[in-house]
Amino acid sequence: MIKLSDFDHLRNDPRIKFKTELVDDQEFTIVSYMIADPKLWQLPLALECRGITFNAAGECVSRPLTKFFNIGEREETQLGSLQLFNCTVLEKRDGSMLVPVLVNDTLRWKSKKSFYSDVAVAAQKAAPSAVKALAEALLRDGLTPIFEFTHPEHQIVINYGDEAKFTLIAVRNTKTGDYLSAETQEILCAAHNVDCIRRYQNHNVRHMIDELETVVDFEGYVIRHTNGLWTKAKSNWYLINHRIMTELRERDIALAVADECVDDIKSAVVAQSLSIDPILEIEQRVIGQLEALIKHSEALLELIKAEATQKDAAMKYKNDRYFALAMILYKEKEPNYVDFWKKHHLKVDYSLKVVYNQNFSGDTE
pLDDT one-digit tens code per residue, 73-85: 999 999 989 989 8
Q: Give pLDDT, residue 270.
A: 81
Cβ atoms of 10 and 16 within 8 Å: the answer is yes
**Beta strands across the sheet bearing 60-62:** 16-23, 26-33, 50-55, 60-62
pLDDT one-digit tens code per residue, 171-200: 999 999 999 999 999 999 999 999 999 999
Distance of CA 298 to the CA centre of its chain: 24
Q: For 109-156, what is the HEC assignment?
A: EECCCCCCCHHHHHHHHHCCHHHHHHHHHHHHCCEEEEEEEECHHHCC
Q: Give pLDDT, residue 363.
A: 34
In this structure, what DSSP letter does residue 90 have?
A: E
Cβ atoms of 260 and 286 within 8 Å: the answer is no
- 3-class SS of residue 72: coil
pTM greater than the 0.85 cutoff: no
Q: Give pLDDT, residue 357.
A: 54
Cβ atoms of 322 and 296 within 8 Å: the answer is yes
| 243 CB-near residues (< 8 Å, 6+ apart) | 252
Q: For 226-246, what is the mean pLDDT? A: 79
Please provide the distance, in angstroms rounded to a whole number, between the alpha carbons at the two ends of the chain.
54
Q: Give pLDDT, residue 361.
A: 39
